[in-house]
Amino acid sequence: MSAAVTAPAADAPTRTAIVDLSRDTTPVGEPILVATHITRRFGGLVAVHDMDFTIPKGSIVSLIGPNGAGKTTFFNVLAGVIPTTGGTIDFAGRRMIAPQHRTWLESFVWFLPSALVAAVGALLFVAGIATSPVAISLLALVGIGALIAMLLLAIMRPVWYQKALLRLGILRSARPNDMVDAGIGRTFQNIRLFGNMTAIENVLIGMHARLKANPADAFLSTPRKRREEVEATKRAQDLIRLVGLKGKENEVARNLPYGDQRLLEVARALASNPVLLLLDEPAAGMNPRETNDMMALISRLRREFGMTVLLIEHDMKVVMGISDRVTVLDHGEKIAEGTPDEIRRDPRVIEAYLGTPAA
Ligand SMILES: Nc1ncnc2c1ncn2[C@@H]1O[C@H](COP(=O)(O)OP(=O)(O)O)[C@@H](O)[C@H]1O
Ligand SMILES: [Mg+2]
C-alpha cells in the first residue's frame, strides 16, 4: 500500500499545508521534549519510576518493553491524560507537565481585579468623590467587566496568562487539549475512532482544534467559514491519501478493515498539525503486511515532512528498522537506551524479553 501512496507534491497544491510544522522553531536535532524524573504511582504500584527521556526534533524514537512495563502510563502522562506523581515535562521550550502547585491560588487571581475595583470604588465613595448613581453604576460595570474578563482568561488560558501564573508559582499541569494546542498529536492503543462517522468526518474532527471560525461565523455562514470549510475538506482528503486510504473517504469508519482503521487514526492525529506525533502500539493486531505499511508511513512522515515521532511498541522487531533511538522500559524502570543495534545486543534487554534463565 505504501508504494501506492501519492506524493503530496504531485497532487494539486493546497493553500493549507498537509502537514505544517512551521509553528515550532526548535532546530532539528535539538530536544523538543524533555521528560525529567517522571514517576507515576497507582496506589502502591509504581507504574513508571524516575524516568528521564528526551526526544530530539525530527527523530523517530521508540519506547519498548514487555506488557505492563509502564509504556502506556508514560504515554498518558506525556499527553496530559493522567497527572504525574513527580517530575516534569518540557515541550517546545515550555514547562507543560509537573505536579500541580498552588492551583488554589488561581481562583484568588480571578477575583483580584474586580476586588480592586470594588476597593477603589468604596474608597472613592467614602471620600465623597464617587457618590452619584452614575459613578456607582460605572464602577459596578467596570468591576463586573473585570470579573468576566478574568473568567474568560481562565477558560482560554493564553500562553502569556500561563506564564504570569508561573511567575506567581502557580502550576496547573497541562490537560490533553493543552497538549494538542502545544503541538502533540496522538493515537490510542485501542482504536478510538468515531465508528458511525465516515473516514473523512473523523479526520475533520481532528482538525477542529486548528479551525478559526467562531460560532457567529457558523451561524451566519460567513465567507470566512465557507472558505475554511472548503480548505479543511481538501486537507482532510489529502491526509487520507497520505496515509494510503484514497477512495475510502466516505466509508463508515467501523466498516474499514482493521489496518485501515489504524491508518485513519494516524490521519486524524495529523489533522491537528502536531509537531510531535505519539503512537501507542500503532501496529498492534496487524498482520505483517499491514505492519510494513504502517512503518513505511511513519518513516515517510519523518522523511518528507520532518515529523518527530514517539513510537510505543511491545514487539521489539517492529521498531528496530525505523528508530533512531530505542528506550527499553521494564517494570516501570528504564533498563536500556541506545541505537537499535546497541539495544538488540544488550543482555538486560534480552533478559527482559526472554526471561531470566533458570538458575
Ligand atoms: N489506571 C490504572 N490504575 C491502576 N493501575 C494501572 C492503571 N493503568 C496502568 N496500571 C498498571 O500500571 C502498570 C503499567 O501498565 P501500562 O502502562 O498499561 O503498561 P504497558 O503499556 O507497558 O503494557 C501495569 O501493572 C498496570 O496494571
Ligand atoms: Mg500499553
d(CA 122, CA 119): 5
pLDDT tens sequence across 197-212? 888 888 988 787 666 6
pLDDT tens sequence across 25-45? 888 889 999 999 999 999 999
Question: Higher model confidence: residue 38 or residue 230?
Answer: 38
pLDDT at 218 over 80: no
What pLDDT is attached to residue 14? 42
Mean pLDDT, rounded, for 302-326? 90
Best of 40, 42, 67 for a ligand 1 pocket test (most atoms within 8 Å of beta carbon): 42
**Grid cell locating 27:** 532546530
Question: Among 1-5, 50-54, 178-182, which stretch is predicted with the lowest mean pLDDT?
Answer: 1-5
Q: Is residue 63 within 8 Å of 312, Cβ to Cβ?
A: yes
Residue 207 CA to ligand 2 center (angstroms) comes to 26
Closest ligand to C-alpha of residue 281 is: 2
- The minimum-distance atom of ligand 1 relative to the CA of 43 is 4
What pLDDT is attached to residue 6? 38
d(CA 62, CA 278): 10
- Select from 3.40.980.10, 3.40.5.90, 3.40.50.300, 3.40.50.720 the CATH code of 2-99+173-354: 3.40.50.300
Mean pLDDT, rounded, for 306-322? 89
pLDDT tens sequence across 238-260? 999 999 988 888 888 898 998 89
Mean pLDDT, rounded, for 328-352? 92
Q: What is the pTM of this model?
A: 0.79
Mean pLDDT, rounded, for 131-152? 93
Question: Higher model confidence: residue 124 or residue 214?
Answer: 124
User: Ligand 1 pocket by C-beta < 6 Å: which residues?
Assistant: 42, 45, 47, 65, 67-73
pLDDT at 81 over 50: yes
Q: Is residue 264 within 8 Å of 245, Cβ to Cβ?
A: yes
What pLDDT is attached to residue 112? 93
pLDDT tens sequence across 162-215? 889 888 988 888 888 888 888 898 887 666 788 888 888 889 887 876 666 666
Residue 50 CA to ligand 1 center (angstroms) comes to 16
Q: Which residue has the cell 539495544?
A: 343
Cα end-to-end distance, the chain, whole Å: 47
All residues at 6 or more sequence positions from 56 whose CB lies less than 8 Å from its CB, including other chains: 28, 29, 30, 31, 32, 308, 324
All residues at 6 or more sequence positions from 267 whose CB lies less than 8 Å from its CB, including other chains: 199, 202, 203, 206, 236, 239, 240, 242, 243, 245
Q: Is residue 178 within 8 Å of 155, Cβ to Cβ?
A: no
Q: Whose CA is nearest to atom 4 of ligand 1?
A: 42
Nearest to 298 by CA among 341, 243, 336: 243
d(CA 147, CA 112): 8
**Grid cell locating 256:** 474499514
Closest ligand to C-alpha of residue 45 is: 1
pLDDT at 331 over 60: yes
